[in-house]
Structure 1
Amino acid sequence: MRITNTMMINNSLANIAVNKNQLSTLDTQMSTKKKINRPSEDPIIAIRALRLRSSLNEVTQYLEKNIPDANSWMKVIQGALEEGENVVSDLYKNCNQGATDSYSTEQRATLADDLQNLKETYYDQGNVDYAGRYVFSGYRTDSRLTFASEAEADNYSYSITQGLTADNFDTKYVYSNPVDVTDLESYINSTAAIPDVDRAEVYRMRLAYSDTDSNTIPVLQYQKTDASGKLVTDADGNPVMVNVADKYPIKSTTDDNAIPGDDEILYNANTGELIFGKNAYLETRNQKNLNVTYSKTNFDKGDVKPEHYLFYVRTYRQRCKGTCR
């Protein structure tokens, strides 16, 4: 093959151009301290650089913002828990003091006021926030644990479904033939015998709230089981529920000392209690997936909002007085 001078010159010029380009690239890298300046120079390196940049941004955010933010968040929680522990300790001390026989009625009334104040202080710890987010409100960080004012509390009505277990049942004593202690003189002056006070033990289940709606009877139900004890579901896989009131009627009462029949349940909206007759209690207490649904409208300032409880708040609606905004 014949190699001409022109070919040699062209090859030399091409090599010089390549070297100049490489020199320019290296000079640019040295001055800019960057491997590439345009993605087109090396697409693979460009993709790797973008991934590294994203990872670096995440690490920087964790280091400079997330970790300090989490530390501050934990300090707020720790402070609130420590204060709550101190409040519980004070509650315990006051209760022990109130149980002392030497305390007068006035002193016990003062202790009762102190207990109420300590209760409010305890719930206030549940409303602590960090950077505008309430730390004890679960994922509802924009909502206080308790109602902030009477106006706010008065705007809502809840229908609450509360899950139950056998641990939710206990017993209490009720009394009949009570003596009116405000009119003891009439008993002294009377020749009739002072009636004996009868005491009876009843089974009860306390709702999460007192002063519930008396015009709505609670719905108490549990999931049906077959002969082998297996939970029953319908064709769609939904639980088949049994309404307790179909067998044991639930009746409303305002008498704190009312005694239910063996086959009935009494509902005291004032105290937030269901009082069970013997048969109703024995059949209901160990049922699976037991729950009660009831309504409550009369909330007060400082009451815990139902949506922050472990049980499920099915619905709630705003009741507006005047103009709703």
Structure 2
Amino acid sequence: MRMTNKIMQNNSLYNINNNKLLEDKLSTMMSTHKKITRPSDDPVIAIRALRLRTSVAELTQYYEKNAPDAESWLEVTEGALKTVTDVLTEMSKQANKAANKDLEPSELEIIIGQLKALRDEVYSTGNTDYAGRYIFTGYRTDTTLSFEDDVNDQPKGYPRYEITEQVKIEDFDTINYTDRDVLNGITKDNYKDSAYNGAIEQGILNDENSNIHRLRLSYDGISADGVMEKSKITLPAGTQIKHGDGKVETLSANTDVTLIAGTKAELNNGTLTLSEGTSITLDDGSTVTLEAAANVTMPAGAEIVNANGEPEIATNTTTGTVTLTGFTQTQQFMGETVNTVSVTNDPDPYKQIYEANKKGDNLVIMIPETGEILFSNEAYKEIEKKAQTQPEMAITYRKDSWEKGDLRPEHYFACTGTTKSKDGTDKTINYNQEYLRGEGKKQVIEYDVGYNQKIQINTTADEVFGHAIDRDIDDLENALEELKEIEAIRNELDGVLKGLDEEKDADYEVALKRYEAADKAYSYIRENIHNMFGKTITKMQEHLDDTNVALTDNGTRNQRLDLISNRLMDQRTTFKTLQSENEDIDIAEVVVKLTSAELTYNSALMATGKIMQTSLMNYI
């Protein structure tokens, strides 16, 4: 084969270029510290790099962001719970101090004042937030646990709440009542009046009828409407209703349903015409609409708003367009009629129950100011019987006046809240309706902290911040007020007695009897407060136990998170090592190769230059 200069030149340039490309590749590897610059360089490395980079990115997200965020939330929760623990411990100490029978009412008043301040601190701690999110309010992280200001816009009353409490027979308790009515209104000026002839020791009563069964609601200051039942209407068989999923059902039998408050309907002589699309609630709590208009009978005594916007009670002669409130005037609990009686009534509600116990009457009284439902012995026996077949009972009531520190009901109960919209119309929100169907679940917030791994970060309000703390202090405060009243009477009569001479003054005997009656009443009430403080010690310890359990659970989650974080760190290190082994170069090896390539390249240039100086003409 004839070898020309052109062939030699082309071969030399080709080989030099290959050396240059190799040198360039090695130089790029040195500058990037990576084995490849494009997927086509090595598809296997490229595919593995994508997988490993994804794994490292996810582990970095978990380790550097999710886990620290979860840890911060848990640490904030821990700090709040420790504060509550300290406060409850102090409350227990104060209650223990107050259990001393030798303390005067003025001293008890100081202690109760301290208990109230400590109670406020407990609920204030419940409003702790993390990065603007309230940590104890479940999914409602934008809503405080308690009201931050007084809300009392009567008669509008916003926000108004219709609250349904679900209780059991174990929630009932007893309170002690001392019948001291014979001393009501007595003073140093009128103690001799014949109206007070019964104001003697025998007239002060505290016996087996004095222990009154009570169901204490979670709130006081509730609406005077009392305990209410929602208006029920009966849809006749054949009525078509449409469920939320669009499914139409034809009722095969007469069916009781609940009216939705605010529904407009035509009422003609007691017959209610519900239009197509009217919303109603089935017994399971689900909301449906009427597929077609239906005529039903209005419940007796149902409350409506007439066409003039005025409230009235529907009768069999009422006609016109009405708005249904969703309530009846009949107040019942477990089939027992509930009577609303104010604490200012004469006789007061406790006295009425006491008398019912003596007579063996069936009587139930609701006190709106204190949020208590009182039961005579006979009424309580009936409730006990019914509780055997219906262990969970529901009570619905309204409250539209709130004080700073009151717990918001939407965090605890199935309720309906009504507020004012910007346009001035009522805005109603239903909260936790699933509770009524027995489907209530904790509003647990979980963070992803690993592959298919989640951890709960929140503690819910019901675990720590119960209504009982506030209501127990209310009971003590009410009992102290009664003690101070009887103390004032006793001190006034004692002053009268000291100003009389036993031998010379004929009124001495009368004053002595009145004083002895007041002293006996004082002893009964003082003993009751002593017992109440004893129970308060136990209750505070129970609250403290609940808080310690929540604190322990929170600490357990934190420990688990530490273990997960350590594992994430190890996993990330492992995957980063694999990623480096897959992508990164061995610098020493590449340096040697690059140096060799440079030397080869330079040598090739020199050799080619020498060769190309000679041509075939030199051999002719």
RMSD: 4.1
1:197-236 matches, within 5 Å, as: 197=205, 199-219=209-229
Task: Report the counterpart of residue 372 of structure 2 in structure 1.
Answer: 273
Deviates more, 1:207-216 or 1:169-178: 169-178
User: For 2:366 and 2:40, how far apart are their aligned partners in 1?
Assistant: 78
Q: Is the 8 A contact 1:204 1:274 kept in 2?
A: yes
1:268-309 per-residue CA deviation (whole Å, 9 max, x = no partner) reads: 222212223134322333323322222211111111111222
1:233-274 per-residue CA deviation (whole Å, 9 max, x = no partner) reads: x9xx9659xx96573222222244132675453222222122
3-state secondary structure, aligned to 2:181: coil
Q: Does 1:317 align with 2:418?
A: yes
Q: Does 1:307 align with 2:428?
A: no
Give the drift of 1:58: 2.5
3-state secondary structure, aligned to 1:213: coil
1:42-78 per-residue CA deviation (whole Å, 9 max, x = no partner) reads: 6675554344333222222333233333333333222
1:141-160 matches, within 5 Å, as: 141-151=141-151, 155-160=158-163
Change (3 A) 1:192 1:106: closer
Aligned amino acid, residue 178 of structure 1 = D
3-state secondary structure, aligned to 1:179: helix
User: For 2:221 and 2:193, how far apart are their aligned partners in 1?
Assistant: 40
Task: Report the counterpart of residue 294 of structure 1 in structure 2.
Answer: 397
Task: Report the counterpart of residue 115 of structure 1 in structure 2.
Answer: 115
Task: Report the counterpart of residue 57 of structure 1 in structure 2.
Answer: 57
3-state secondary structure, aligned to 1:285: helix
User: For 2:22 and 2:110, how far apart are their aligned partners in 1?
Assistant: 90
User: For 1:289 and 1:15, how far apart are their aligned partners in 2?
Assistant: 92
1:147-193 per-residue CA deviation (whole Å, 9 max, x = no partner) reads: 11125996411122222122111222345462336515444554833
Aligned amino acid, residue 265 of structure 1 = V
Q: Does 1:249 align with 2:355?
A: no
Aligned amino acid, residue 383 of structure 2 = Y
Give the drift of 1:216: 4.5
Q: Is the 8 A contact 1:262 1:279 kept in 2?
A: no
Aligned amino acid, residue 197 of structure 1 = L
Name which structure has the greater RCO, CA cutoff 8 Å, separation 6+: 2
Q: Is the 8 A contact 2:178 2:210 kept in 1?
A: yes
Change (3 A) 1:322 1:290: same
Task: Report the counterpart of residue 98 of structure 1 in structure 2.
Answer: 98
Task: Report the counterpart of residue 172 of structure 1 in structure 2.
Answer: 175
User: For 2:335 and 2:205, how far apart are their aligned partners in 1?
Assistant: 32
User: For 1:207 and 1:60, how far apart are their aligned partners in 2?
Assistant: 50
Q: Is the 8 A contact 1:203 1:281 kept in 2?
A: no
3-state secondary structure, aligned to 1:148: coil
Q: Is the 8 A contact 2:333 2:395 kept in 1?
A: no
Deviates more, 1:42-51 or 1:102-111: 42-51
User: For 1:38 and 1:315, how far apart are their aligned partners in 2?
Assistant: 62
Task: Report the counterpart of residue 225 of structure 1 in structure 2.
Answer: none
User: For 2:174 and 2:387, how far apart are their aligned partners in 1?
Assistant: 12
Aligned amino acid, residue 95 of structure 1 = A
Deviates more, 1:180-189 or 1:97-106: 180-189
Q: Is the 8 A contact 2:228 2:332 kept in 1?
A: no
User: For 2:21 and 2:392, how far apart are their aligned partners in 1?
Assistant: 77
TM-score (norm. length: structure 2): 0.41
User: For 1:202 and 1:129, how far apart are their aligned partners in 2?
Assistant: 42
Task: Report the counterpart of residue 129 of structure 2 in structure 1.
Answer: 129
Aligned amino acid, residue 142 of structure 1 = D
User: For 1:25 and 1:40, how far apart are their aligned partners in 2?
Assistant: 14
Unaligned runs of 5+ in 1: 6-12, 221-233
Q: Is the 8 A contact 2:227 2:395 kept in 1?
A: no
User: For 1:305 and 1:281, how far apart are their aligned partners in 2?
Assistant: 29
Q: Is the 8 A contact 1:155 1:321 kept in 2?
A: no
Change (3 A) 1:137 1:44: farther
Change (3 A) 1:42 1:117: same
Aligned amino acid, residue 315 of structure 1 = T
Task: Report the counterpart of residue 163 of structure 1 in structure 2.
Answer: 166
Aligned amino acid, residue 247 of structure 1 = G
Aligned amino acid, residue 387 of structure 2 = R
Change (3 A) 1:111 1:218: same
3-state secondary structure, aligned to 1:204: strand
Deviates more, 1:299-308 or 1:82-91: 82-91
Q: What is the identity percentage for the equivalent residue pairs of Structure 1 and Structure 2?
A: 35
Larger radius of gyration: 2
Q: Is the 8 A contact 1:155 1:320 kept in 2?
A: no
User: For 1:16 and 1:137, how far apart are their aligned partners in 2?
Assistant: 74
1:206-249 per-residue CA deviation (whole Å, 9 max, x = no partner) reads: 111111112243349xxxxxxxxxxxxx9xx9659xx9657322
Aligned amino acid, residue 398 of structure 2 = S
3-state secondary structure, aligned to 2:385: helix
Q: Is the 8 A contact 1:174 1:256 kept in 2?
A: no
Task: Report the counterpart of residue 192 of structure 1 in structure 2.
Answer: 197
Q: How many residues are aligned here?
A: 301
Q: Does 1:285 align with 2:387?
A: yes
3-state secondary structure, aligned to 1:318: strand
Q: Is the 8 A contact 2:341 2:367 kept in 1?
A: yes
User: For 1:303 and 1:278, how far apart are their aligned partners in 2?
Assistant: 29
